[in-house]
């Protein structure tokens, strides 16, 4: 299962950044939403210094949790690097905001969930948001989200890494599940929620629909070009699965493929620009509803909408299989998903098959292995 092998969030490739191979240094001084004190701002932007984490809750109860975490200095990075923890209330007022700023207040005002996204960790720069939530899972409320403006060691399949500069929505959040059979399907709920969230933002603002599609199992495409992806990893502890979910979505970086705002400019002359905080809030508003349906009624309650959103219905796939010393090609047609989350396909012999990635190919549709279904 793609989930178990953590094959996910492959925004480009192991050797590409989300922006450009040649861009390895970022100028960030005036791009952040808040003016930290000069000493904090300088150290936060220094690649070799401590990382600043700003904590904020939507309610008084969650802000009390933030105070407790700060007082105990509970948050750690995987490499045991220095961490500077601030509360949002300790930040000085912003001098100005621009289209690149992540506005915590705007995000919280748009958020209408009961659990997910209500406890926020924001940082100007991190190696990986995924590492923050997975490393500190037990110290954080379930549904905690970590957002970074710049990410230097984003995680992907087979330990692939990349740099992600300003304009990318990069976040990770925590989920806890009890039924191990449903855990592999969570990435599909997440994928569906992000595509529907973008549509909701378009509808709310009277924009032409940005029809983001899902490439199985966890990539996001727009107009035939990749703009994002999903990473889910889990650990099992105390009879529960602690799941860390990561999402990368290219909101405002036109290179090397495209981004939401570039496509918007092509189809509309409105002054509106997609913002990371609005999309993030819309995602959690949608995800929480989908997740409740998923837990109560199973993935079947979402499958019809999912299949309308993905790229693969009736797609013909050529499978190469060894038969003694020969390689035999067999053609199957994708029908949907099996109950375990793999691809359901039918062969030209009308036999139903379940298709698995072999784990060796970067492209899931190369190296698929089929298993007959009774």
Tell me the per-residue pLDDT of 249-291, one tens digit each, with 9 for 90 and over.
999 987 778 999 999 999 888 889 999 999 999 999 999 999 9
**Position 15 in a domain:** no
Picking from 240, 18, 63, 266, the residue whose alpha carbon sits closest to that of residue 138 is 240
Q: How far apart are CA 334 and CA 346, in angstroms?
A: 7
- 134 and 156 inside one domain: yes
Residue in this structure with the two tokens 């240094």, named with its chain if needed: 25
- 302 and 360 inside one domain: no
pLDDT at residue 154, rounded to an integer: 53
Residue in this structure with the two tokens 């959690």, named with its chain if needed: 284
Strand partners, 316: 333
> How many C-beta atoms lie closer than 10 Å to residue 57's C-beta?
20
pLDDT at residue 24, rounded to an integer: 28
**Position 65 in a domain:** yes
**Pure H helices in the chain:** 38-45, 60-72, 104-110, 129-135, 186-204, 260-267, 276-297, 300-309
**Position 252 in a domain:** yes
**Position 247 in a domain:** yes
- 304 and 326 inside one domain: no
- 342 and 299 inside one domain: no
Q: Is 31 a residue whose pLDDT tops 50?
A: no
Count of domains in the chain?
2
- 249 and 340 inside one domain: no
* pTM as predicted: 0.84
Q: How far apart are CA 91 and CA 53, in angstroms?
A: 11
Instruction: Report the run of H or E that residue 241 belongs to, with start and end.
Output: strand 240-250
CATH number at residue 170: 3.30.930.10
What is the distance, to the nearest Å, from the Cα of residue 232 to the centroid of all Cα atoms in its chain?
Answer: 8
Crossing angle for the helix pair 186-204 and 300-309, to the nearest 10 degrees: 60
Tell me the per-residue pLDDT of 206-230, one tens digit each, with 9 for 90 and over.
999 999 999 999 999 999 999 999 9
- Among 276, 309, 342, the domain boundary falls at 309
- Among 291, 309, 327, the domain boundary falls at 309
Domain around 251: 51-309
Q: How far apart are CA 355 and CA 145, in angstroms?
A: 33
């Amino acid at each position: 299962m793609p989930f178990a092998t953590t094959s996910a969030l492959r925004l480009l490739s192991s050797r590409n950044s989300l922006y450009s191979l040649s861009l390895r240094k970022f100028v960030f001084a005036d791009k952040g939403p808040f003016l930290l004190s000069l000493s904090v701002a300088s150290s936060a932007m220094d690649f070799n210094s401590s990382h600043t984490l700003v904590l904020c809750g939507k309610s008084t109860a969650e802000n009390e949790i933030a105070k407790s975490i700060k007082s105990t200095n509970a948050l750690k990075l995987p490499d045991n690097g220095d961490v500077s923890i601030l509360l949002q209330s300790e930040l000085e007022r912003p001098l100005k905001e621009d289209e690149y700023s992540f506005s915590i207040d705007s995000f919280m005002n748009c958020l209408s969930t009961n659990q997910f996204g209500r406890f926020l960790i924001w940082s100007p720069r991190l190696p990986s948001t995924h590492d923050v939530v997975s490393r500190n899972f037990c110290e954080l409320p379930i549904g905690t989200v970590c957002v970074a403006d710049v990410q230097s060691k984003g995680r992907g399949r087979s330990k692939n890494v990349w740099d992600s500069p300003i304009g990318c929505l990069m976040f990770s959040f925590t989920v806890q599940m009890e039924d191990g059979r449903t855990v592999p399907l969570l990435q599909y709920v997440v994928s569906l929620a992000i595509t529907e969230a973008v549509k909701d933002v378009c509808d709310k603002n009277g924009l032409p629909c940005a029809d983001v599609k899902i490439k199985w199992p966890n990539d996001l495409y727009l107009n035939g070009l990749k703009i994002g992806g999903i990473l889910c990893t889990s650990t099992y502890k105390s009879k529960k699965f602690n799941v860390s979910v990561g999402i990368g979505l290219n909101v405002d970086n036109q290179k090397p493929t495209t981004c939401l705002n570039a496509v918007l400019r092509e189809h509309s002359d409105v002054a509106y620009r997609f913002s990371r905080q609005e999309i993030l809030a819309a995602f959690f508003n949608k995800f929480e509803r989908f997740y409740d349906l998923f837990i109560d009624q199973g993935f079947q309650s979402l499958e019809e909408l999912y299949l309308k959103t993905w790229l693969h219905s009736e797609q013909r796939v050529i499978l190469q299989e060894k038969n003694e010393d020969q390689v035999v090609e067999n053609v199957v047609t994708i029908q949907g998903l099996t109950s375990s989350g793999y691809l359901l396909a039918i062969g030209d012999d009308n036999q139903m098959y379940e298709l698995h990635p072999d784990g060796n190919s970067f492209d899931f549709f190369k190296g698929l292995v089929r298993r007959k279904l009774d």
